[in-house]
Chain A
Amino acid sequence: MPIEGQVRIPSGCAIAGIFSRSGERMSGDDVIRSIAVMHDRSNGLGGGFAGYGIYPDYAAYYAFHLFYQEKKHPDAQQQCEAFLRRHFYIIHAGVIPTRKIPEITDEPRIWRYFVLPLPEKQETSQLDEQEFTARCALRINAEIEGAFVFSGGKNMGVFKGIGYPEDVGRFYRLEEYGGYSWTAHGRYPTNTPGWWGGAHPFGLLDCTVVHNGEISSYDANRRFIEMFNYQCTLQTDTEVITYIIDYLHRKQGLSLEETAAVVSAPFWSTLEEMPEPDRSTQIYLRKRFSNLLITGPFSIILGFEGGQMVLGDRLKLRGMVVGNHGDRFYAASEECAIRAVCPDIAKVWSPEAGEPVIVTMDRKEAAGTCAPR
């Protein structure tokens, strides 16, 4: 049976997110309870989380989370670590702590490394620190068989695997972490289990995406984005969406609102009625980046250092609810997932089709890599 990367597997899903505007650190408990309510939107074939602010002691270092398929590729870890040593200064490395539970079996070897690019390597590459790090992660995934970087940002981490999301959360002992921002994903793939790397969230540097839907523009988007040094090795929607956002936001310097206007572009009839200067800007973006328009149903929560963005498709073909309660921002595929952790929530609403909802920390300086440079 082929796994992700060898075959394209569409899937339905549940997503949830919790964010503290003041940067208050929350344990992973709440987000697990939130996603658990939507149990029936997953089928046990994939679950995962992204937490931000979870590694304050190593905040200056890129935290690489790796899966090693040690049974099939016994040399993978050795090869990968040799590669890491050639390109990075590794300040700390070790196994990611997990809990043995009957619901989660057959896990790969799961390690993490806190790293910084070796200055001489980075200088020779003529790339900035982020681009150098991102390319190294993509290279490991494409070239070292049996090694897969599934998280690689600063002071954040992705935790994912095969199973229901609430079980994956317990497996990774997420209640022991404290983060100001959490996103979660429960997967309903239309095919048999792939492997752990195929679960979500999908991340590149500190940007992570959890996604519910199946995009019909996939191959148009993939073939375009692959022109810019991205390799869609997993063949999943989430992967290509992450790369599109990374390309538009980090590399082209578009704001998150502008990025949203590209991927969930308003219809021409709407654009023409917009007031200036938005009209000109949005028409320009649509003409300039028409290959990155995403069609078909999707709702996503983008996690990044210092914030979250919730975005749905231009026809609103997937449900998405967001809410505010004091310092907290909540987002989920279904309102019940928000009520489960915040029963008396002050305000809940469904964003318009293609309308981005962006929350960032009160501390402006925290807006990091995902802010336009």
Chain B
Amino acid sequence: MDLYVHPLFEVVRNEKKCVACRACERQCSNCVHAYNPDTGEMEADDSKCVNCHRCVSLCPTKALKIILTDHCFRPNANWPGENINEVYKQANSGGVLLSSMGTPKPHPVYFDRILLNASQVTNPPIDPLREPMETRVFLGKKSQKLERNAEGQLVDNLTPQIPLTMPLLFSAMSFGSISYNAHASLARAAAALGICYNTGEGGLHADFYPYGPHTIVQVASGRFGVHGDYLMAGAAVEIKMGQGAKPGIGGHLPGHKIAGDVARTRMIPPGSDAISPAPHHDIYSIEDLRQLVYSLKAATGNQKPIIVKIAAVHNVAAIASGVARSGADIIAIDGFRGGTGAAPTRIRDHVGIPIELALASVDARLREEGIRDDVSVIAGGSIRSSADWIKAIALGADACYIATGALLALGCHLCRQCHTGLCNWGIATQRPDLVKRLNPEIGAERLVNLVHAWQHELKEVMGGMGINSVEALRGNRLMLRGVAMTQEELDILGIKHAGV
């Protein structure tokens, strides 16, 4: 299968430290390690190693490390080894290359070229340890006409909103693409944090209905697991039109992952492939989207805000404007560096645009049209740290979606082999022996820690800016400056260069 392809990683075992306890062998779902009874030593098959660090992390004597091979082709700037190997693989298999998680290509990351402001002299910084620092937000339409009752009192006529203790949500990852325990961790953490997680297109496992107020339920093109109770269970319903990692592409969860609870939750027979079409077959244009939005509103008795999630593609601003006029309460924009459980490599690495540019142009466009208040905007697609999160809010996001960061907190080591279903960390797998490696209690605690840490950092940065409520940071682009960017990039981001 992998004819001509030399293993990318080498397993290095310190024989002096190794006690041949065979823990690595038991831990590795890829069968890299084996015990040789003749020599009494452990052996490794480098070609199977995905560099997930499971064995390294659990080796009791710290005898293992994984290194990148220094095996090489004749140097060629135009044909790097990766390209050559990909040609070999496709010549071997005749197939589309598959990948997982976000693109590893060195595309520009605009977040890294944006710097934040702080107060000096003319305006006092605020110390979050001494003064209240507010991060609560409500997502949903805010443009209703004011109404007063007979006594002249203002009437709360806002359509349903998603209340969040901070402008952050865990983004869509389906039960099936990730494990029961991963979902349990996300659900518990979301509830503990007062935020939301997202079911993705896999339905909602019966056990997780109690976390409904902290759940976004997704309706995607395959409609898996969608029924009345499901729609009513969540804090909001998300229509998934696209995903940043694979715009224009549907989904495919192979039959071997559709077993037991996954099949039941998706409402499909065990063992059958779950194929989500590229388009929704009832949405071939914007007016069709409007019908689905209002169908879902009708199905939920107008009690749930409707999110429309779109991938960041070239004319994302015009699309978002159309979505805002379609009755959606919230638009989620997913940038092309975002993650995935499986996507064709070429699509993931080459289709779409970065979230920073997409978000900035959507926010500006909705303002130009005077409809920014008709919708909230959630940005996702590689929010890697609180710094990215803060910059996204200042560019104009009402909130951000994170997923890869959340999986890392659960133990993911970004080996990018989710599509194999052999996740040694119990996250992207349905194999019971692997799933049980992830303890949902510990997982939830680690997620809570991560998000709390980010919230602390958000408050520190806001305090430095002299801002004591996150709504005053939203769209506050004067708090941003660019470095090492062209004027056109700055203009699209709507920010000034550092120094002016």
Contacts and interface: CB of A to CB of B under 8 A. Distances in A.
Contacts of A287: 138, 142, 158, 161
B123 A296 contact: yes
B146 A220 contact: no
Given A12-B122, A190-B122, A252-B146, A226 B476 contact: no
Contacts of B372: 224, 227
Interface stretch (A137-145, A276-284, A342-350): A276-284
Contacts of A289: 142
B468 A220 contact: no
A287 B121 CA distance: 32
Contacts of B466: 214, 216, 295-297
Majority secondary structure, B binding face: loop
A227 to B, nearest CB: 5
Interface residues of B, number: 38
B475 to A, nearest CB: 5
Interface in A1-43: 8, 10-12
A220 B472 contact: yes
Contact of A268 (B119, B121, B136): B136
A327 B472 CA distance: 39
B131 to A, nearest CB: 6
B346 interface: no
A268 B137 CA distance: 11
A83 interface: no
A345 to B, nearest CB: 30
Given A220-B472, A295-B472, A214 B123 contact: yes
A290 B142 contact: yes
Interface residues of A, number: 45
A185 interface: no
Contacts of B475: 219-220, 223-224, 291
A26 to B, nearest CB: 33
Interface in B369-428: 370, 372-373
A284 B123 contact: no
B132 A267 contact: yes
Interface in A255-292: 258, 265, 267-269, 277, 280-281, 283-285, 287-291
Nearest to B393: A220
Contacts of A190: 121-122
A218 interface: yes
A220 B471 contact: yes
Given A252-B146, A291-B474, A293-B472, A216 B134 contact: no
Contact of A223 (B142, B158, B469, B477): B477
Contacts of A254: 146
B330 interface: no
A284 B147 CA distance: 11
Contact of A285 (B121, B122, B154, B370): B154
B476 A291 contact: no
Contact of A288 (B158, B367, B465, B468): B158
A293 B469 contact: yes
B153 A277 contact: yes
Interface of A: 8, 10-12, 190, 213-214, 216-221, 223-224, 226-228, 252-254, 258, 265, 267-269, 277, 280-281, 283-285, 287-291, 293-297, 314-315, 317
- The 7 closest A-B CB pairs, nearest first, are A217-B472, A219-B478, A216-B466, A220-B476, A290-B471, A295-B472, A214-B123
16 contacts: A10-B123, A214-B466, A216-B465, A216-B466, A216-B467, A216-B476, A217-B467, A218-B476, A219-B478, A228-B370, A287-B158, A290-B137, A291-B471, A295-B468, A296-B466, A315-B468
Given A285-B154, A290-B471, 4 more contacts: A224-B367, A227-B367, A287-B158, A288-B158
